[in-house]
Structure 1
Amino acid sequence: MNMDERWRTSSYSEANGQCIEVAHVGERVLTRDTKLGGAGAVLAVPADAWSAFVAELRR
């Protein structure tokens, strides 16, 4: 599986590209800006920190 096959966007994303993409790679979660098409920076965070962040958003 190449890296581009791992990226996904939320089902809540809009067609205008104003969202982020996420990829789970090992013990890390990578995020990038969708509208940059992979040309921009990638933020990597530990998977447990990402889970805590998402859990907080859902509260």
Structure 2
Amino acid sequence: MSSLIPPAPFWRKSSHSGSDPTSNCVELAAARRAVAVRDSKHPGGPVLRLSPAGFRSLLQGLRNI
């Protein structure tokens, strides 16, 4: 295995997700010095990559809504 190929991320679905596959849900994956976020309904779609500090800020902002 080449060290140039990054390992596939391990995606975890939100614990607030329902069992309905059409429900609004996000998945998270730890990446090197980042947190990756994607829509669970579109796993091949865009991925938002945030620094750990940026992810903490995002969570804090969501808690304040």
TM-score normalised according to structure 1 size? 0.74
Measure, in 2, the Cα distance between the counterparts of 1:26 and 1:51: 16
Shift of 1:55: 2.5
- Alignment RMSD: 1.7
The structure whose residues are more often strand, as a share, is: 1
Match of 2:38 among 23, 32, 42: 32
Q: Which residue in the other structure is 1:15 paired with?
A: 19
In structure 1, the gaps of 5 or more residues are none
In structure 2, the gaps of 5 or more residues are 1-6
The structure whose residues are more often helix, as a share, is: 1
Shift of 1:8: 0.5
Percent identical among aligned pairs is 30
Q: Which residue in the other structure is 1:57 paired with?
A: 62
- Looking at CA atoms only, which structure, 1 or 2, has the larger radius of gyration? 2
Count of residue pairs brought into register by the alignment? 56
Could you list the structure 1 runs, at least 4 aligned residues long, displaced by more than 6 angstroms after superposition: none
